[in-house]
Structure 1
């Protein structure tokens, strides 16, 4: 063999030197990138620079990482679509084989003889039609959901079009009416015969949502006092005769729409709403739990366009007195232009049931109309159209529920705006030392916000009258009934193990909701109602604003012992408020664990049992006063005058505590623990009333 020349060695050396050196990210860098990607999969240049500076990476490296991650997600969706296509193709092949076998034995229907070429029997004709239908089925799965079926002029009524009494428990002594959860959890999914009905309902619902959201001529919506819109039922049923059919007997209509700017682009909003887990996290004040029962289509083009899902959701009011609302519904997402999207939800409770499920509520086409403004913001129109039975509503919540404000469009949009503001602040990295305060860095600030978010979600999940909760009513010291509930905490991340006792009560307070919120969140006034502070001074040692409203803030409080300067307790507290109501949630925290979080450590390691307050404005007190012949909640005329000049100014307050009564999950609850929490919550309510002068 001939030896290589010196020039050859130099060329090889240059070639090796020119090879790219691949950078392997650390575990911490990958974790931070994944966390950011979940919230914002399309960061702009400024965000990439800030993230790269924080993680020690070049902006170009951050850009390539996000590009690769989006490619992985797109490939995942494509693989899922391909598996559906393969299954449908296999079904079509099987049907074609059966069709060919049937054609071999085809005979004349008149004489019974073998058919000659060119003749077509009735059987062959039907088989050809069936074959064409199967081909269309394959095309419908791979193409747009709008191509599932051709439009039909026959009115589409998913539920029976005859009125029936929704208070009945069954159609007869021998037939039990299924629950909404049973219908949604039924194995097997949607059958082939049900897919066209669901697809047609999705198309009809989307058309209705677009018209209802954009209507401006006053035929459908009429303004009341310039602040509230009312839907004309007569005009509605005239324009939309298809869909769910007439209103069911015993149900009342709750219809509303609201438009506003949201601090998130359209792509982020679509990802949040179509991902059921992120949807629950975003709207934890309203959605107590939800899950996807079936994904019919995942969308086309690597995004959510024409995605169609079946979901079960349980919506809540933060009170043990108000039963949750259950819905089994389809969710359909469609991109109407380059910058315009719409997501519609509509109930399908009676699709496969005879008799239909026992209904307390159902959802007519509702959802979001989203227009991307290309500046990081979106213009969102929320529409909520629900029919519900109000006959079992507690008296103090009757005005809130009947007004439609409890689950109305204003509440959904207000929470969305507030949560997007919070998310934007959470993802901000360019923070001055003055804004950080005692928090060492941006990672510590973000970890503190994540911990507060988990604390608030835990509080919301444990205070409602969900069907998974079993509340027991106790007799309180005052006029309010206290509901208690126990649960075992075993291997629950972020919670101490053992027996947890939850106690809650709801009451009407003749005080303006904003005044009540400011009183309860003020650390300087905390000793007036917080029994556990033992009269000690409360000092705010760290705070992070989570929105433009000064009432939206996460605080770390130090509670000092009475007559001493030493601190013996830390409290993490989050307060938030919007047009729909307010929340104040807090929990005692371990000092070493909190120090670790503020250094940027994992907030999932901190065990919390949150307590707090949920406040809703009440604009219907005057109506209730007329019906009952006096004020509610025991407030006198002087107190009402002090709270507000309007006799309808009041607030609905829910007080809830969670206490670990035993660190052994197998232990039994004793009556002493129940009596203690009963006394605690009764005393807290009494102190609040006394401090506000409404005893």
Structure 2
């Protein structure tokens, strides 16, 4: 008997998760022992079946006897000195049997009302009907057991024959190297591969379970939902700490992490079975790595030349038949794959993704809120290999017209070899159903491979099932195409953010670029302030569950949505009542044209009410990406109004294949001088406003793709934040709302007039 051959145990529960890891295994009992035990169980089953048959015949006799009391004398009428008359059997008619047989197929367990109705129709007593159905159910059960016994006997015979084959193979086997006996019996190539795969999966599960065992039973309270486990770090601090910048340049945590987590609606406890989570994580990792390397027919090329690959859903379910269950009713599948070379090494990328604060910061345009609910494993050997976390996150689009997508999932990280890592997310709906969620993640995540130049090749897979029927019709083509939340958006955002981090490291910056910035410390401090501005803008412009927008019907064609926030002792925000207003609309011009118009300081006075018609001058410029549109600028408004002589505008413009942003905020001259000197920017008050520019759908031509366009149009979201009262407890006046509504309507009209006029030329 070869070591490691496992007899498939009948009725063995399957592993939870994507694919079963049952099959050939090491360390199991011998096949002969299992076969003998199998025969004993069959004999016991046969004995039980014979007892049931005897009981059925007795019940049948009693049923028939009981049905004849109406034909014979009752017990009270019998003479005790006389023997009772022999009872006559009451045979049901063929019609009665056929009717009860037909009823049995529809309802094997009729209730009292149904039995009485059936007895009236057939001319029987309700008790007779009851006994007939009891006997019929017992008969069906007995037939099923007989069939099952036959199957078991057949399976037992096969196992005995297989056992003899293995014995013969063992007795005749010899080592090809030494000619002596071998411990490995004759087996097919498929059996050998299954055995190897089974051993590998079991070793991985045992290893992760051993690590997770240290955390099982630890109260969830030790992982605060609203307090980060470690001090939050900005992406610029990551660059300073991990990419070799001097310690003196490492600043404090960036503003915005606590703001994104505040008012998060999260589960209060972690209710699912942790060993089942481990098995689900291992199965999801297997699926992700297979999907990352697979080609056609699983993945189909996009119509766009450099676009993401689209999943063949039918082929997916044939390849991965188990998964986390069928797609919920009303949900649709969105699945895409995209890859790129990014300017960051694989270890730093893994650290960003596995730290919820850094991950939320890097993907602030996509992730509106996120939290780690529980850490089952922190990894081994001082890194994230084997780390397992339970998380919740909310994914957004930069418009209040597109609902956010909340997801409750686990995240598992694994190193697959030198320089190769994978991080997978998968929803926990199959283990812990969460009512109300309209999005669930099948195996999604990224495969990170180190390249010879120290960069990383990232292959991203985004596979979700979602109910998006509440998306506004204007954004529906973009969402349905998968561009809104798909793999290309994740990869494009990551690529741009890695370029931004690399710009922090640059030491050979031309003097003309930094202008009024006199030091590297001042340059880094200004970039950090701009980063906080972008994060604050992105977290406040979407339809997040943390926001309560109120719709106003203004003078313009578009509805304006407003909401208020009270700011009290919040570093980086002015105290008082802040009114936010946003609106989205379509422009029949390419997104790139809209982006170039809005970021150009020479055309700013056309649409910017704050500039009051003055001349806008760029005082500082920091490039932070390959595209010339990716930069941070410091603008000064030379206005005839003496009250605005000290006003500066901090602006960041950024663009990638998924969309573009122009975000700005007025800053105080004195505070900005501190920042330019390398001071801490965390306490500089900002109320960011700006624009999000997206294509109106997937590109239909190479020209549209080059212009980051869909059908040739652009979706523009305009958002303002204004301090309407410096007293946090003050009541918002209708006049303030009307003023903001008028401001945003006027800005929209000016943009339309100038962009469309320019496009007409």
**Quick check: 573-582 or 431-440, which moved more?**
431-440
2:599 to 521, 528, 548: 521
1:551–1:577 Cα contact (<8 Å) kept: yes
Q: Which residue pairs with 2:288 in the alignment?
A: 209
Count of matched residue pairs: 507
Q: Which residue pairs with 1:677 in the alignment?
A: 740
Give the Å deviation of 1:528: 1.0
Q: Which residue pairs with 1:360 in the alignment?
A: 438
Gapped regions of structure 2 (runs ≥ 5): 1-203, 217-261
1:315–1:326 Cα contact (<8 Å) kept: yes
Give the Å deviation of 1:143: 4.1
Structure 2 vs 1, CA of residues 377 and 137 (structure 1 numbering), >3 Å: closer, same or farther? Answer: closer
Gapped regions of structure 1 (runs ≥ 5): 1-135, 149-180, 623-640
- 1:510-531 residue CA offsets vs partner (Å, 9 max, x unmatched): 1100000000000000011112
Q: Answer yes or no: is 1:417 the counterpart of 2:480.
A: no
- 1:459-491 residue CA offsets vs partner (Å, 9 max, x unmatched): 001111110100000012121000000010112
2:648–2:666 Cα contact (<8 Å) kept: yes
Q: Answer yes or no: is 1:218 the counterpart of 2:218.
A: no
Q: Answer yes or no: is 1:658 the counterpart of 2:721.
A: yes
Q: Answer yes or no: is 1:267 the counterpart of 2:330.
A: no
Q: Which residue pairs with 2:37 in the alignment?
A: none
Aligned residue for 2:417, secondary structure, equals coil
Q: Which residue pairs with 2:657 in the alignment?
A: 579
2:418 to 338, 342, 346: 338
Q: Which residue pairs with 1:280 in the alignment?
A: 360
Structure 2 vs 1, CA of residues 322 and 140 (structure 1 numbering), >3 Å: closer, same or farther? Answer: closer
2:208–2:386 Cα contact (<8 Å) kept: no
1:349–1:357 Cα contact (<8 Å) kept: no
Give the Å deviation of 1:217: 4.1
User: For 1:413-452, what aligned pairs fall within 5 Å after superposition?
Assistant: 413-452=491-530
1:543–1:554 Cα contact (<8 Å) kept: yes
1:184–1:311 Cα contact (<8 Å) kept: no
Give the Å deviation of 1:228: 4.5
Q: Answer yes or no: is 1:195 the counterpart of 2:258.
A: no
1:399–1:621 Cα contact (<8 Å) kept: no
Structure 2 vs 1, CA of residues 438 and 215 (structure 1 numbering), >3 Å: closer, same or farther? Answer: same
Q: Which residue pairs with 1:240 in the alignment?
A: 320
Q: Answer yes or no: is 1:454 the counterpart of 2:454.
A: no
RMSD over aligned Cα atoms: 3.0
- 1:196-247 residue CA offsets vs partner (Å, 9 max, x unmatched): 2211111111111111111124344344354442211111001111221221
Aligned residue for 1:458, secondary structure, equals helix
Task: Give distance in 1, aligned partners of 2:609 and 2:589.
Answer: 22
User: For 1:47-446, what aligned pairs fall within 5 Å after superposition?
Assistant: 141-143=209-211, 185-190=266-271, 194-224=273-303, 226=305, 227-353=307-433, 356-446=434-524
Structure 2 vs 1, CA of residues 544 and 348 (structure 1 numbering), >3 Å: closer, same or farther? Answer: same
Q: TM-score, normalising length from structure 1?
A: 0.69
Task: Give distance in 2, aligned partners of 1:137 and 1:547.
Answer: 42
Q: Answer yes or no: is 1:534 the counterpart of 2:534.
A: no
Q: Answer yes or no: is 1:494 the counterpart of 2:572.
A: yes
Aligned residue for 1:531, secondary structure, equals coil
Of structures 1 and 2, the larger Rg is shown by 2
Task: Give distance in 2, aligned partners of 1:291 and 1:372.
Answer: 28
Q: Which residue pairs with 1:97 in the alignment?
A: none
Give the Å deviation of 1:391: 1.4
2:398–2:717 Cα contact (<8 Å) kept: yes
Aligned residue for 1:414, secondary structure, equals helix
2:391–2:408 Cα contact (<8 Å) kept: yes
Task: Give distance in 1, aligned partners of 2:388 and 2:722.
Answer: 42
Q: Which residue pairs with 1:114 in the alignment?
A: none
Task: Give distance in 2, aligned partners of 1:653 and 1:378.
Answer: 33
